Amino acid sequence: MPLFSQHRNRRMTSAPLQLATPEPAGTVATTLLHRYRPLETRAAGGFGSVEICLDTRLQRRVAIKRMPLTAQAAGELHQNMGMALAEARTASLLQHPHIVSVIDFSYDAGYAYLVMEYVDGMTLEEFLQAVNGHSLTYDEAACIADALIQALSYAHSNGVLHLDIKPANVLIDRSGHVKLTDFGMASLASAAGFGGARGGTIGYMGPEQIEGLEVDERSDLFSLAAVLYESLCGAAPFRAATAPESLERIQAGVTPPHELLPDMPETVEYALMSCLSPHPESRIAESSSLGDYLATLGKAREGRKSLERMIARLTSDEPEDELEDGASEAASVSINPAQGALGTHWPGFQAQLSRGLSGVAAVYLMTFMLSHASMLQLGAPAIASISLALGIASFFAPQLGAAIVLMVHVLLISFQTPFLSVLLVASLTSALAIAWWLTWGRAHAQVATAFLLAAAASCVPGAPYLGAALVLPAISYWLMPSLTACALAPAFPFAACLMAAATHQGSLTNSDALAMIMEPRFLICAIGLLSTTAALSAVCRRASHSFDTSGSHGLFYLASCMPAILISVVAALANHMEITGSSTLDLPIGVGLACLSSILVWIYAYSFGFSSASWEGDLQ
């Protein structure tokens, strides 16, 4: 039984974990599915074995679950396995940072196969077996719970159930990142002849799954709660030799967690007891609601750091005393590539950087607008005070900063331009700004931040629009390709209107705004920079996926070269389309900004890591 103190501070005293090493898979087969060369058998159990294989086509490691077909399943192969594969392929479409990617499904006369990405680390089952008390700290449990709830929320929103959540299906890599595996495995296991409860595991299935009744999202939440209860309390509450025995234990109920852990938060205990109810209608219905109840469990970020340290210790071949002697030194100099140099030592730095840049951009935009508002006749101290106040507000709430900047722009041009001359542009700007803010700017802080940054950088003297090249690397890391368009599509026209108003002492007529936006240079820069950022975002995420699955960061070299090439092309085209009378666009400046943008891509990757889970997690 775990002691209360173990959930505050746990010191690892056991020896590094020695994983069981079954007979090498290479002795069984030369290749699997004519493509995968077995390297080792990682685990073997009732459902078959897990083979670590080399993908001979892509030269990467994969994990293959291989289940022998029972005689009955072999006789009904095409009828059962066809349906199971269809359901499993649906599950394989799930792409999420906390879900193990599924590469392929197949079967032959003797086996069913599930080919997945290889995760270098441990299962939660192995972790619990190795640590003192066979339990997690509150922070570690919070990290596990947060990852699994995110994974289930995404899966359930796409109509996919897991139905076999258990510690053996929770993977923790060497950076402490948690992933849920075996989506689609329950269907394959059932079709292969392993039990009649849709392939679940005794001890983690709810009563409805054991009895073969209708299952839904609440069945997964029951299994998740059973895993969390075991992880915190040190014992699986419903584990039994047979399904009927497990069902009896479920009906009898579990020991309230506070009797084992007196300091457990009440909301956490309520959530666990609710989800472990034998009656589905009495359980919490949605994973997002469960996440709200578990918010007080612990600090997920600290838990991830602890998991990373523990797994490094458990899987190390060095003696325990050497690990203790070098722990502080290693902690001070080691850099986790997934999190980067800054992300490893200052996990919250990226979020603070984002907020700081949002504030700086808001200050610049407000100063730019007020300094060109000739009719207001504001002095420098007044402009500085107003701009600084907006910058502080934007630091804490970028959405508010974006809304104020847009509102002030509309008010200024309306105040300084004859009514009929500004009516169309003011009305259209107001309508579009409100629609954008309600749809994207309010909901996504990073979209609002990217909007402010791109608009401010586009107004930099000497290289109109192309100044945005300096902020595109950060935006491409923060946002998915679709959201980059949501941020930049309004930012460039807004910057064009600001510069048009600046050339007319703050006034902006309908014709001036239209002329500026229809200018070929503007169209080339806006479309080119938006496309470059979206493409860079897509490549960075593909590179991150490659790093997560194989440890390779080669695609980041491609990402770092993209801005230098693409933005230089944009600068050349814009310079070629330069119209006499407009501000001069210096081609060397544009090329220089493009090269600097490429350098910033690599600096950002080195600073904040090669894993998108690290980028997005730090910004939440």
> Where in the sequence numbering do the catalytic residues fall?
164
Give dist(CA 188, CA 164) in Å, integer: 11
User: In the structure encoding, which two tokens stand for residue 486, read together?
Assistant: 């949501």
Query: Nearest-CA neighbor of 219 among 299, 261, 275?
Result: 275
- Residues 6 or more apart whose CB falls under 8 angstroms from that of 28 comprise 38
DSSP helix/strand/coil, 21: coil
Give dist(CA 111, CA 67) in Å, integer: 5
Give dist(CA 458, CA 583) in Å, integer: 14
Residue owning tokens 């500026």: 516
DSSP helix/strand/coil, 62: strand
**Cβ(339)–Cβ(614) under 8 Å?**
yes
**Cβ(201)–Cβ(123) under 8 Å?**
no
User: How many other β-carbons are positioned within 10 Å of the β-carbon of residue 317?
Assistant: 6
**Cβ(182)–Cβ(60) under 8 Å?**
no
The radius of gyration of the chain from alpha carbons, rounded to an integer in Å, stands at 28
Classify strands 121-123 and 170-173 as parallel, antiparallel or unpaired: antiparallel
Give dist(CA 528, CA 410) in Å, integer: 27
Q: For the chain, percent helix, then strand, then coil, each to nearest 5? A: 60, 10, 30
